[in-house]
Copies of this chain bind each other. A is one copy, B any other.
Amino acid sequence: MALITSETKGVFVIACTPFTDNGALDTASVDSMVDFYYEKGADGLTILGMMGEAPKLTQAESIEVTKLTLTRSGDKPVVVGVSAPGLAAIGELTKAVMDLGAAGVMVAPPSSLRTDDQIIAYYRNVVETVGKDVPVVLQDFPLVTGVQISTKVLGTIFEEHPSIVMLKHEDWPGLQKISDLRDAEAKGRRRTSILCGNAGAFITEEMQRGADGAMTGFAYPEMMVDVVRLSGEGKFDEAQDIFDAYLPLVRYEQQPGLGLAVRKYVLAKRGAIASAAQRRPGAALNALAIKEVEKLIARQTAKLEALN
């Protein structure tokens, strides 16, 4: 299977991990979900990320989910999240998933990191641990990790490690970071792929700032697919029209601590997975929240129809 590179573009959907109502891994839904994502236009997937309930899986289950997803994805690239408190676990899971055919691994910084030098040293250790031939996605998500990585530090890391080929960008605010990274490349630094997260809430501006696409899990991947495609064609106003139609739900899904419940509810409703259940501990939408989501979906559908 092809590896991700510093030229990778498009939409990598952050996949959820489907469970049955009693909390068992729902392998049939892995297949249907993978199919769903590609039918909606995804260029690739990212599994075992923060929204994938990865810490709730045993190591054996993590491998099984990877196998199932890779098999069903055919030659589409699949990135695997391998963040862990220790390098040994990162190295162990990386070896396993790369052997299975993953396109690369994604690593977020542990929340204990503080100084610039600590962050730089951490990614040096990561690259030494996984090996220089494994493509790495650096996940920059300070809202969750608590680790703030300045543009300068990102530059130092990118220059030192050619195998870190992609930035999963979800700093907040972070639009200027994209511009600054692209400016540095214009002045000679090697290129890095930038795919953006943050539930897609800034994807229109991000694309105009020079991002290569999206890596996020909004339950209507066609939004990201359309915005990325239209932005690539320079049709920024049309992209914004489509984005605006989805934005009320994007916003609702972006709530920390509730987002995954919304996402799984919508995916189940759309037939991508059989059950919206999260493995314990996990929130479920109550009746009031479901009513709010349904209203947002109904309005979204009407707006999209009005656009066509």
Binding site for B on A (CB under 8 A): 54-59, 61, 84-89, 91-92, 111, 114-118, 121-122, 125, 128, 142, 147-150, 152-153, 172-173, 175-176, 179, 201-202, 205, 208-209, 240, 243-244, 247-248, 251-252, 255-258, 279-281, 286, 288-289, 292, 295, 299
Picked from B59, B115, B173, the residue with its CB within 8 Å of the CB of A148 is B115
A104 to B175, CA, bound (A): 38
Cβ–Cβ contact B88 & A56, under 8 A = yes
Chain B nearest CB from A191 CB (Å) reads 20
A92 to B63, CA, bound (A): 14
Cβ–Cβ contact A61 & B88, under 8 A = yes
Query: Cβ of A292: which chain B residues have Cβ within 8 Å of it?
Result: 175, 205, 208
CB closest chain-B residue, reference A86: B55
Cβ–Cβ contact B251 & A201, under 8 A = yes
CB closest chain-B residue, reference A61: B88
Query: Cβ of A111: which chain B residues have Cβ within 8 Å of it?
Result: 111
Identical chains in the assembly: 4
Cβ–Cβ contact B59 & A152, under 8 A = no
A176 to B261, CA, bound (A): 14
Cβ–Cβ contact B84 & A288, under 8 A = no
Cβ–Cβ contact B150 & A115, under 8 A = yes
Chain B nearest CB from A260 CB (Å) reads 11
CB closest chain-B residue, reference A95: B58
A150 to B209, CA, bound (A): 33
Picked from B54, B61, B150, B248, the residue with its CB within 8 Å of the CB of A116 is B150
Cβ–Cβ contact B173 & A258, under 8 A = yes
Query: Cβ of A89: which chain B residues have Cβ within 8 Å of it?
Result: 55, 58-59
Cβ–Cβ contact B55 & A88, under 8 A = yes
Cβ–Cβ contact B86 & A179, under 8 A = no
